Amino acid sequence: MVLQWHVGSPVLLKAVLAVGVCLVLYISQHPALDRFDHRISGLDQSLNLPKGGLSFDNNKSDHTGFYSSEAASQFCKHHGYPVFAPQTASGRRKVYDLFMVNTELDWMEIRLNATFNYVDYFIIVESPKTFTGRPKPLTIKENWERFKPYHDKLIYHELEFPPTFSPRRSWDYEDLQRNAMYTQVFPKLTGRQSPAYGDVILVADVDEIARPETLLVLRTCRFPRRLTLRSRFYYYSFQLLHTGPEWEHPQATFYQGSRTLLPANLRMGDGGFKPLNELEKSDLGNACWHCSSCFSTVEEFLTKMASFSHEWMNGEKFRDRDRIADAIRSGKDLWGRDVDQFVRLDNNTDMPSILLEEPDRFGYMVNRDGPSAGFTDYP
């Protein structure tokens, strides 16, 4: 039998109608598909919301009361989202922070300090290999006691390499590790740590830190399946602001059982049902802080370079200590890329609060002036 796909054909009209119905149903379940400009602003900070996150232990009435409150409604409405409706017996909606970390111990402490009251569990997967396959120490595991104040919410896992893993490029190592934060950890979570449908999953690098207001948006509102949390983009320190568009990471999604987006797919914007990928996407501006290459020592800078998936960026001429210090003092891109330009911000206060509260420990994050360029091991 040959189908006649001409204009006015009953078969064609039925097919178009079916697709249309599917799209209407899909859009009704995915808010903010217009992608109009959502941003974290002063209004978010002025609304009457829990300042320490939404942590009421297991008191269902407190949770349901919050989600049905006028404050929650106005907060989400400001961003074009409806309020989330928890389906769990406890009335809770959990937030999981899945972040990649290598040797950045200071950054991990800064992240935990800034977001601890707004996140339920932090998931860390550490690899014994760099993204180029070279052996490396388990720095986080070796320094675990440093993070003792945060242990109640930390979930640590050492990366397992599947027998079928056959990397052909350095990105394969990175994708394996990023996805392992979900595939190798979530199936093992039990009790209070177990995920429920609708729970928030944040996928980030350690130096991409969500603002507290952003985490409240994620916990409170029914946001799109692929939400990009655009970051205010600093370089070398919070003294230098990138002049281009906001950084296009991290990303957030929510738990959907077997339909949950894998972290690498979420970050790269692929995976899932391709025809609907763009419809699932939205952005939240000024949502995070990102400070690239903000290190306290030249040695740490060099270690990070050695782990780059882009191997050319680890060339000998780029590993010269004087070149590194000069680039950081002058606010220039170490690799000479014209696309990255920066403006100096004196007396900047837009940063995680611990950096301002403990200048003796984190001064290099605020000021890169002087012969040492803020490094403790240079000149």
Picking from 291, 311, 338, the residue at the C-terminal end of a domain is 291
Mean pLDDT for the stretch of residues 281-298:
95
Q: Is the pLDDT of residue 56 over 80?
A: no
**Tens of pLDDT, residues 158-209:** 999 999 999 998 899 999 999 999 999 999 999 999 999 999 999 999 999 9
Please report which confidence band the pLDDT of residue 36 belongs to, taking 50, 70 and 90 as the band edges. very low
* Residue 308 and residue 208 share a domain: no
* Residue 280 and residue 320 share a domain: no
Tokens in use for 351? 């940063």
Q: Which domain holds residue 122?
A: 38-291
**Tens of pLDDT, residues 11-27:** 555 554 555 545 444 44
Please report which confidence band the pLDDT of residue 34 belongs to, taking 50, 70 and 90 as the band edges. very low
* Residue 283 and residue 304 share a domain: no
pLDDT of residue 87: 83
pTM over 0.75: yes
* Residue 341 and residue 259 share a domain: no
Mean pLDDT for the stretch of residues 256-283:
93
pLDDT > 70 fraction of the chain, expressed in percent and rounded: 86
Q: Is the pLDDT of residue 337 over 50?
A: yes
Picking from 273, 291, 309, the residue at the C-terminal end of a domain is 291
pLDDT of residue 196: 96
